[in-house]
Amino acid sequence: MPSIDLGLAIVLLLILGAEFVNGWTDAPNAIATVISTRALPPYAAVLMASALNLAGVFSGTAVAKTIGTGIVEPSAIDLTTVGGAMVGIIFWSTLAARWGLPTSESHALVAGLAGGGLAAAGPGVLLWSGWQKILIGLALSSFLGFFGGVLVVTCITWLCRGVRPGRVKTTFRYLQILSSAFMAFSHGSNDGQKFMGAFTLALVLGHALPVFQIPTWVILACAATMGVGTMIGGWKIIRTLGYRITKLQTYQGFAAETAAATTIELASRFGIPLSTTHTISTSIMGVGAVRRFSAVRWGVTGEIISAWILTFPICGAISWLTVTVARWLF
């Protein structure tokens, strides 16, 4: 492990704090539907999500490299930029979780890096190559999540026509455990990698690493921190995703998780950071809308979408302010 001075240590602790919040608030992404359909009891679902999140983090580093080297120009920023981004994530995500609103740590992270980068070096610090991937991820999470849910639940309904409802419910109760595990793994493969990228970027900026190459101990530290956060879980967010958007049966929960996890895994393999929160939420909306449009509580979804929209300006502004004040003081 490289030598770490006080300033770098503070920034690394902030990154781990944001990773903890990521596990705490994003745990519902993988387990909300499996709890709401009673396919698994809550604490068993949380333990499963913790283990599969951990496994997913070890599945690749493409997303981490996009976050660490593709959002802002590393040579134009310093440690205060990364630290300011983490302050924005921790503040906003914790506040939203108290209201039971699922937010995107992915968008909070890139908005924070952008805000801090703008404060440090101006608009030229932003890298279009990375932001292209962010925009692609936004499209995938919104549209492929929704229509993927529509497609999967429609196929299930057609395949199970004529089958007794009780048998369908029992069969998909077991299948939903598998889809929830897949969702947890995909969350780790995308969201877990993002903070690995920020952590490694901080090590490079703090001259503790010569080049951007993710050490194994960084993967372990980030994965363990996210796992602990996941074990605590955001129960208010679980209620929002699992119960308030629409009422789900086991086959619908399976459809939403399968569509969302497949979308996330596809993005992860191409190094595209996307919001797991957006993806599972839109998949749930799509699944509910197939039954009937009014089955989705659109007022609740409006609250969720408002939180998504506010994430970019709020996290960017907090990061910009934090970096501006820190540079003025120090």
Angle at 141 between CA 139 and CA 145, to 5 degrees: 115
Handedness of CA 285, 288, 291, 296 (dihedral sign): negative
The closest alpha carbon to 273, from 119, 104, 97, 44, belongs to 104
| Residues in Cβ contact with 295 at an 8 Å cutoff, skipping those fewer than 6 apart | 246, 247, 288, 289
Cα–Cα distance measured from residue 8 to residue 275, given in angstroms and rounded to the nearest whole number? 28
What pLDDT was estimated at residue 115?
93
* DSSP code for 124: G
Hey, what are 193's tokens?
């990698």
Closest CA to 155 of 167, 172, 137: 172
Helices and strands: H and E segment counts in the chain: 14, 0
* pLDDT of res. 233: 64
Q: Which of the 8 DSSP states describes residue 192?
A: I
pTM metric for this prediction: 0.86
Query: What residue has token string 């994003």?
Result: 26
Query: What's the pLDDT score for residue 6?
Result: 87
Would you state the structure tokens that stand for residue 271, as one six-digit string? 């190094």
Please report, as a single letter, which amino acid is at residue 201. L
Residue 284 has what pLDDT? 83
* CA nearest neighbour of 237 among 318, 147, 307, 312: 307
Domain segments of the chain as ranges? 6-329
Question: What is the model's pLDDT at position 95?
Answer: 84
Averaged in consecutive runs of 10 residues, what is the pLDDT profile of the chain (330 residues)?
80 93 73 76 80 82 88 90 92 80 80 92 89 89 91 93 87 90 88 88 92 89 83 67 68 91 91 85 85 71 78 92 88
Element of type H or E holding 285: helix 276-291
Cα distances from 213 to residues 3, 4, 204, 313, in angstroms, run: 16, 17, 9, 30
What is the reported pLDDT for 304?
72
What pLDDT is stored for residue 82 in this prediction? Answer: 94
Which residues, 6+ apart, have CB-to-CB distance to 43 below 8 Å? Answer: none
Bridge partner residues of 126 (DSSP): 72
Task: Look at residue 193 in the predicted model and tell me its pLDDT.
Answer: 84
Identify the DSSP state of 127. -
The predicted pLDDT at position 238 comes to 66
